[in-house]
Amino acid sequence: MSAPIAPRLTGLIFLAALAWGTSQGIQALSTPAARTRLAETLTPAAFLAGRTTAAVNRVMAHYLPADPWLRAAGGVWRWALFGSGGPQVRAGCGNWLFLTEELRPWPGADAAMASRVNALAQRTAALARSGITLRIVLVPDKSRVAQSELCGAPRSAQAKSRLAAFRTLATGQGLTYLDLESILRPEDFRHTDTHWTSGGAARAANAIAAAAITPAPKTEAPVTDWGDLVRLMSLDAAPAAFRPAPDQLHRLIYPKPEASGGLLDDTPAPRITLIGTSFSRNGQFDEALATAFGEPVLNVARSGGGFAEAARAYFTSDAFRETPPAQIIWEIPERVLGQPIGPEEAAFLHPSD
């Protein structure tokens, strides 16, 4: 007598799922990134210490071919049903999204901020002795400038008082800096992204070079784009209908500043260097600065670099030692001021400790 259909069907579904899962695992382990990560752990010592197992687990968690779609399904579920952006994003009014990192408190924030302000004062003085001007530019949190759009998204007491705490410390150290809080407006930030628009970046650049006359740039046709907060919501691979509405942007066209040529067209290194974070990589900020100052700007900022990664890389580079600039613009997001300081940053901030 033949077996019932239901158990057969269940068995077939189980075998199909097992085959699909095995295929996903094999494909994940076969990617170049996975092979590189696993190669470091394919030793008896690493296996006995559990590092091989940990590496395999990480590969399975990050390199499955279906991972983008699984993340997208989770993101769509959260956003469509609950209006939630997940652990890294908070939804505000309408189409406004905010980075949780701006809103939360950080342990040891007061000591971390004091250490960074002290290092900024020391670095400013040291550069001045070498004839280099350091211009510190503080970019306020998007949630501070557009706080009217939070609509109930929780903002910690530490986040609210962070800028005032920085000002007090900077004044005590005699530190000169440009605070963009009174300059930037809510419309200077993208709705679905952490960063400023091209207009906001231009406003900031004009404030830095206050004496410069900036030619009015032309604009291209409007650009439709989703920002980094949509990616953090795991919706970057989801169909457009299941994402928040995209930003409607204009890309500005700036005239290219001309650098004076030397013998054999040997163009000198730019006299202005820009260090900082993804703010300096977004919104055409470096182009706006070059236009405002009327000369080229070397952009060595690093996306995701936090407070000091770009500065640490630049100040220890051959480029800085061999062709130091006349001035350095250090762009610093407010939200990184009180974040924990890692060992590499600590060694850079206080090399004599």
Contacts 24+ apart (CB under 8 A), 22-30: 24/64, 24/65, 24/66, 25/60, 25/64, 27/64, 27/65, 28/59, 28/60, 28/63, 28/64, 28/65, 29/56, 29/59, 29/63
Q: Which residues partner with 219 through β-bridges?
A: 252
**CB-CB contact of 283 with 225 (8 Å):** no
- Alpha carbon 307 to chain centroid distance? 11
Class of residue 252 by CB neighbours under 10 A (exposed 0-12, middle 13-18, buried 19+): buried
Give me the tens of pLDDT residue by residue for the chain, a chain 353 residues long: 455 676 666 666 666 656 655 665 676 566 676 677 667 677 777 677 667 777 666 655 566 555 565 566 666 767 777 677 788 999 999 889 999 999 999 999 999 999 999 999 999 999 999 999 999 999 999 999 999 999 988 999 999 999 999 999 999 999 999 999 999 999 999 999 999 999 999 999 999 987 444 455 656 667 778 788 877 887 777 888 778 888 878 777 776 666 544 444 456 788 999 999 999 999 999 999 999 998 999 999 999 999 999 999 999 999 999 999 999 999 999 999 999 999 999 999 988 65
With beta carbons less than 8 A apart as the criterion, state whether 178 and 135 touch. yes
Domain ranges of the chain: 5-65, 108-225+250-349
Greatest alpha-carbon pair distance for the chain in Å reads 95
Q: What is the pLDDT of residue 307?
A: 96
Q: What is the pLDDT of residue 212?
A: 45
User: How far apart, in whole angstroms, are the C-alpha atoms of residue 198 and residue 251?
Assistant: 7
Question: 133 - beta bridge partners?
Answer: 327
Token pair, residue 52, equals 């091989």
The reported pTM is 0.75
Residue 264 vs residues 104, 212, 259: alpha-carbon distances, Å: 55, 31, 14
Q: Contact 325/273 with Cβ under 8 angstroms?
A: yes
Beta-sheet pairing, 327-333 with 297-299: unpaired
